[in-house]
Amino acid sequence: MIGIFKKKASANALILFLYALVLKFSLFLHPFLPVLHAGDNYLYRFVLTVLGALFGHAALPYSILSFIILFSQATLINSICNYHKMLPQANYLPGMCYILVTSLLPDLGHFSAPLLINSIMIWCWYRMVALYNSPNPISSIFNIGVFLGLATLLYIPALAFLLLLFFSLLIMRPFRIQEWFVGFIGFTSPYYFLILILYFVHQLHSNNLIPHISFTFPTFPGSVWVVAAMSLLVIPFIIGGIYVQNNLNKMLIQARKSWSLLLAFLVTAIFVIIINKADSYENWIVTAVPFAVFHSAAYYYPQNRFLVGLLHWLCFSVAIAINYFV
């Protein structure tokens, strides 16, 4: 399987879809209605209101929508990694790894605010990487800030991704204070419209505008299967990180900076997880993008095909077991 996705062939898009269908089919067998959490913000509540009017109390449409979003995110990540030459040769490993990573915990397949902001973060990461040689950085930085601000209107803990914007400017650009200021203005601009809306509906109070933030540790896993799944998130990440570090000298400068930014992405995503404790692992999906790309390095670089295949099928087996039988 690794050998198939290690090549860039047109048929691999169909194989990736079938791969996703095998791992995600449990979404259709056990559909799940969205549940509001404390971190869900105005925009996500509005989205649920609209979808509720369309779908009623049927859970299956939400599962279909989740599958479409997850598969589109996988293909988008794959295209971005190939475009920016994150790995020496174009392949389908990042897309495969994203599907696999988001299958290790069943909650990651639920329709949720973090699932939606993951699409925003993939676009933002793409634009952040492009800042290195952007001909018009000011407008790009402003647009990134706007989309990050929209992400916070979907999910309050996404406020932590403001740090990622500053990390991207630090890594990808020479220091210019006006660019940092423009990014912050872009980040806060969606709140100007929120203030207007709250004013016109006579709800402009500090409690409705200033988000409540608390820092807590994630819930300790209550199942050995969850522990195994989390371990299989971390182990390939470490292996991939070691191989990326060993091959940095062979990469273009932009690719090196892209890997550094991806690590910053993971750090800020962990902050998202510890803000406003959730009742499930749905918010862990914000770590899926950096984990998936580092996992793809763990499958791409090693020469021992047996060990690479063993690691993949171990992850695949745990994903199947935890989604279908646990």
Rounded mean pLDDT of the chain?
A: 89
Compute the C-alpha angle 79/85/90, nearest 5°.
60
pLDDT, tens digit, 9 for 90 and up, residues 80-95? 999 988 888 989 999 9
Alpha-carbon gap, residue 155 to 45, rounded angstroms = 10
Angle between helices 288-300 and 93-101 in degrees, nearest 10: 130
Distance in angstroms (rounded) separating the CA atoms of residues 218 and 232: 17
Q: What angle do the packed helices 137-154 and 42-55 form, to 10 degrees?
A: 60
Per-residue pLDDT band for 259 (boundaries 50, 70, 90) equals: very high
Q: What is the mean pLDDT of residues 221-242?
A: 89
Report yes or no: 102 and 77 within 8 Å, Cβ to Cβ: no
Q: Per-residue pLDDT tens for 25-46?
A: 999 988 889 988 878 888 999 9
Q: Letter for the amino acid at 250?
A: K
What angle (nearest 5°) sits at the alpha carbon of residue 278, between those of residues 127 and 147? 20
* Contact yes or no for 153/42 (Cβ under 8 A): yes
Who's near 71: CB < 8 A, 6+ residues apart?
A: 16, 17, 20, 99
Amino acid at 287: T
Query: What per-residue confidence (pLDDT) applies to 279?
Result: 72
Tally of residues, the chain: 326
**303 or 290, greater pLDDT:** 290
Cβ–Cβ under 8 Å, residues 153 and 115: no
- pLDDT, residue 255, reads 85
108 Cβ neighbours under 8 A, 6+ residues apart: 101, 102, 115, 281, 282, 284, 285, 288
Which single residue is written with the structure tokens 């549940």? 35
Distance CA(298)–CA(315), nearest Å, equals 13
pLDDT digits (tens, 9 = 90+) for 163-184: 999 999 999 988 889 999 999 9
DSSP string computed for 101-131: HTTSSGGGGS--HHHHHHHHHHHHHHHHHHG
- Greater pLDDT, 211 or 156: 156
Tell me the pLDDT tens digit for each residue of 92-105. 999 999 999 999 98
| Torsion, Cα of 312, 315, 318, 319 (10° steps) | -100
Q: Pull the structure tokens for residue 283.
A: 């918010």
**pLDDT(21) > 90:** yes
Provide the pLDDT for residue 216: 72
pLDDT band at 196 (very low <50, low <70, confident <90, very high): confident
Residue 40 — φ and ψ, nearest 5°? Answer: -70, 130
Helix (H/G/I), strand (E/B), else coil: 215? strand
What is the distance between the alpha carbons of residues 168 and 66, in angstroms, rounded to a whole number?
29
**Tens digit of each residue's pLDDT (9 = 90 or more) over 264-273:** 999 999 988 8
Surface-to-core class of residue 275, CB atoms within 10 Å of its CB (0-12 exposed, 13-18 middle, 19+ buried): buried
* CB-based contacts of 87, cutoff 8 Å, min separation 6: 81, 93, 94, 296, 297, 300
Report the pLDDT value the prediction gives residue 234, as an integer from 0 to 100.
94
Alpha-carbon distance 88 to 206, whole Å?
51
Q: Which segment, 133-137, 141-145, 210-214, 252-256, is predicted with the most confidence on average? A: 141-145
